[in-house]
Amino acid sequence: MRVLGIDCGSRVTGYGVIDTDGVDCVFVRCGIIRTKSSDALAVRLRFIHNSIVEIIREFQPEAAAFESLFYATNVQSALKLGHVRGVSMFAAADADLPVFEYSPLEVKSAVTGYGRAEKLQVQQMVRALLRLNASPEPFDASDALAVAICHVHSNRSNKTVAAHL
């Protein structure tokens, strides 16, 4: 099975693609979608959506996994992040992918065994789990791979956010 993990951000959205047989995970690709902060939010959202559509077309994942929203003190940032998650999830659902969601605690626990791990620890464990020669960079990309790994190691049946349309 091929899994697409997405770490949403209004400036930088990370993505990671892995293959799995249900036990082992194999690295396929990771990267980032970087928007221009000078662009209007609607323009950034369209760019993120279109980029995810292209990633899905190129890599043909069978599932998409997202990190759920976390508590944020800045309401404006949380709203922008919600918009990014919305267009990203829509891109996956529109491609008939089942969409799954995991909390930051679940992702960190699945990858490092510790729910309060730092980004560097997550990045190092992603490198080890995927048997990579170098750590995937930047953190947005390694976080997206961590979400995909979390999906593989989690109970999927209770996590579905959107079913096949």
| Active-site annotation, residues | 7, 67, 140
Provide the angle, in degrees to the nearest 10, between the axes of the packed helices 119-129 and 139-153.
60
What token pair was written down for 1?
A: 């099975």
3-class SS at 153? helix
Angle at 127 between CA 22 and CA 100, to 5 degrees: 45
What token pair was written down for 7?
A: 């770490």
For strands 63-67 and 99-102, give the pairing: parallel
The DSSP secondary structure of 34-97, one letter per residue, reads E--TTS-HHHHHHHHHHHHHHHHHHH--SEEEEEPP---S-HHHHHHHHHHHHHHHHHHHHTT-
What token pair was written down for 87?
A: 């267009």
